[in-house]
Amino acid sequence: MFSFIHITLVDVFDIFLVALLFYQIYMMIRGTAAINIFIGIFLLYVIWLVVRALNMEMLSTILGQIIGVGALALIIVFQQEVRKFLLYIGTRYLSNKNFSIDRFFSSKTGNKALLVGIDALVRACRNMADAKTGALIVLGRRSSLQLYVDTGDYIDATIDSRLIETIFFKNTPMHDGAMIIVNGRIVAARCVLPTTEKLEVPAHFGMRHRAAMGITEHTDSVVIIVSEETGRISVAEHGEIKSGLSAIELRQTLELLFI
């Protein structure tokens, strides 16, 4: 009955790739408002296929024209997600840890400077957690953070625990916003970060945590958050937050990500 259907190995591979593409898109936009738009567009496409198969001329022409401009509309509607998707491909599959080291602690500084930087960061975060001083520290990797650096005050200093603690000390003019570290140097503080648009964010996450999720959705950076309310240390990467880390776990996470 289905003798007219010829499935070759290439077709199977084709279907597999389409399934993989849809899965990656779903993982990227799940929990955001974009998932509803995506489902809407997908349903419209399925209806168009059915209508066309039934030879319903008028409806299929109208839907066909909507879908004709669909590619452009999709790029506009999903601008943020397209960015995230391209970044995801570029960083997850093409980057390796050596590149991360190059961007965070500069290749010339070597492993010793890298460990000193992590040491200072961990010490500062542990002290700030004990004192319940809120902090938001972005560690740049391959993505440019210039856009966000420009929203704050330039610093250009080595990673020093006392300097970090002073910057985030309550009521000082610099304590608000995020600190950005790139190539082993503190490049700016008081920076404004984009907040996540995810709807399913735990209720106890305020704006600081939402900003950490946001910047790691837009870039491949890693963010350390110290909660002013609870003193909990968290790390964000790829829009996900790992909360309640001890100083030792923070060190292990940073070493895993950057060494």
Ligand X SMILES: Nc1ncnc2c1ncn2[C@@H]1O[C@H](COP(=O)(O)OP(=O)(O)OP(=O)(O)O)[C@@H](O)[C@H]1O
The residue number with the shortest CB distance to ligand X is 206
176 binds ligand X, rule: CB under 6 A: yes
Strand order in the sheet with 153-158: 153-158, 185-191, 178-182, 135-139, 222-226, 233-237, 240-245
The only residue of 84, 198, 208, 218 in contact with ligand X, by rule CB under 6 A: 208
Nearer to ligand X, 63 or 209 (CB): 209
Touching ligand X, residues 219-238 (CB under 6 A): 227-229
User: How far is residue 72's CA from residue 91's CA, in Å, rounded to a whole number?
Assistant: 25
Nearer to ligand X, 34 or 138 (CB): 138
Pick from 48, 105, 205, 258: which binds ligand X (CB under 6 A)? 205
d(CA 19, CA 42): 14
Amino acid (1-letter code) at residue 195: T
Which is nearer to ligand X, 160 or 176 (by Cβ)? 176
Among 117, 140, 177, 239, binds ligand X (CB under 6 A): 177
If binding is defined by CB under 6 A, does position 197 make contact with ligand X? no
CB nearer ligand X, residue 36 or residue 146: 146
* Least Cβ distance, residue 61 to ligand X (angstroms): 46
Pick one of 128, 193, 222, 236: the residue that binds ligand X (CB under 6 A).
193
CB 190, CB 176: distance < 8 Å: yes
Q: Looking at 25-33, 65-73, 92-100, 187-195, which segment touches ligand X (CB under 6 A)? A: 187-195
Rule CB under 6 A: choose which of 51, 180, 187, 211 binds ligand X. Answer: 211
CA–CA distances in Å: residue 232 to residues 47, 122, 209, 249: 49, 13, 11, 12
Q: Which pairs from 252-255 meet CB under 8 Å and 24+ separation?
A: 254/118, 254/121, 254/122, 254/139, 254/222, 255/118
Task: State the minimum distance, in angstroms, from the CB of residue 152 to ligand X.
Answer: 9
Q: Which of residues 102-161 bind ligand X (CB under 6 A)?
A: 134, 136
Strands of the chain (E only): list them: 135-139, 153-158, 178-182, 185-191, 222-226, 233-237, 240-245
**AA letter at 119:** D
d(CA 151, CA 202): 27
Nearer CB in complex with ligand X: 206/244 = 206
The footprint of ligand X (CB under 6 A) covers 134, 136, 176-178, 192-193, 195, 205-209, 211, 227-229
